[in-house]
Copies of this chain bind each other. A is one copy, B any other.
Amino acid sequence: MADLKVDLAGLRLRNPLLLASGIWGESGESLAGAWEAGAGGVITKSIGRSARLGYPNPTVESLGRWGFLNAMGLPNPGIEEYPKEIAAAQARGATVIGSVFGGDADEYAELAYRMAGTGVGAIELNLSCPHAEGLGSDLGEDPQEVEAITRAVRARVSVPVIVKITPNTADPVALAQAAERGGASAISAINTLRAISIDVRLRRPTLSHGLGGLSGPAIKPVGLACVWQIYPKVSIPVVGVGGIRTAEDVLQYVMAGARAVEVGTAVALDGIQIFSKLSQDLLALMGELGIERIADVVGAAHIRPAVNGVPLAAASHERRP
């Protein structure tokens, strides 16, 4: 029987399927619900210093099966209020990862410190929200900021620190390496892609904020590419995020280099049963492919195997100019 357990930078996960930040993440009961539905761990909504209402509606635009555009505007009850939600989820046994966002390294460090105080298993730094001026991605696009923020957080907390990076960059590897230099325990990639939708009858963007982030199946090939690029260039584990909806998606991310994955949009598309479904399907697929442990195939697509017995060096395309 295949085994789904993974060790993510010291955090033991019963399976590699994490609830992505911002989905079912405001209430402790929802986090607990996702855990009980089979998630291997649940990541909180990104929490800031004080309560934020977020942008006015419309905050979400559906693209059907392809995914969503959203510009929530980082609504959150603030770090004062939020620990009771975490406690509620922990009381039900959930492995909780606390996500935080801020405006500078000090704020990130302070928030991470307070978040760690709730007993979360790890911290995720949201350095990648594509639609909040001066927060998240505005800092997360600059390797120096990423390194400084990570370092400041690292100095204050002892739990694993996962740095979530943006795909809206020329060089995801530079961001990941900066996080690693700063002391990150893991990288998660990706957050949403900067995107917009416009209504031609109204002649205006359909999200109140104008720009938003694209999530869901449409972005899977992009998230996969970020993981693919980052994996061989860092020595810390990578968590894959973006468009995961099937067990095959999960395994693609794992083979690209992900040790665990996060699932967001699929919760809206398929319901919270997505977690138990993914676990079952993943076990079945691993059985079919003769994979015993997830850990055995992390990054497997980077090793160019001899195919059909013919070593690749002899294959024509490695020879062509």
| A contact residues vs B (CB 8 Å cutoff) | 53, 55-56, 63, 66, 69, 137, 141, 166, 168-171, 193-198, 200-205, 208, 210-211, 214, 217-219, 221-222, 224-225, 228-229, 248, 251-252, 255-256, 285, 289, 297, 300-301, 303-305, 307, 316-317, 320-321
A130 → chain B closest CB, angstroms: 9
Give Cα A307 to B316, complex, Å: 62
- CB contacts (< 8 Å) of A55 on chain B: these are 317, 320
Q: Which of B66, B211, B222 contacts A214 (CB 8 A)?
A: B222
Task: Kindly report how many copies of this chain are found in the complex they form together.
Answer: 2
What would 15 more interface pairs be, CB under 8 Å, given A203-B297, A218-B218?
Answer: A53-B320, A63-B221, A141-B171, A169-B170, A170-B170, A193-B193, A194-B229, A196-B225, A198-B224, A198-B228, A203-B301, A204-B301, A205-B228, A214-B221, A214-B222
A271 → chain B closest CB, angstroms: 23
Give the one of A69, A169, A170, A193 with max B CB within 10 A: A170
A-B contact pairs, 12 of them (CB 8 A): A56-B317, A169-B170, A195-B225, A196-B221, A196-B225, A196-B228, A198-B255, A200-B251, A200-B285, A203-B297, A214-B222, A218-B218
A interface secondary structure, majority: mixed
Give Cα A197 to B63, complex, Å: 22
Give Cα A285 to B170, complex, Å: 37
Complex contact B194–A222 (CB within 8 A): yes
Give Cα A305 to B166, complex, Å: 33
Give the one of A197, A201, A203, A252 with max B CB within 10 A: A203
- CB contacts (< 8 Å) of A222 on chain B: these are 193-195, 214
- CB contacts (< 8 Å) of A53 on chain B: these are 320-321
A59 → chain B closest CB, angstroms: 10
Complex contact A205–B170 (CB within 8 A): no
Asked whether A225 and B211 contact (CB < 8 A) given A56-B320, A169-B169, A170-B168, the answer is yes
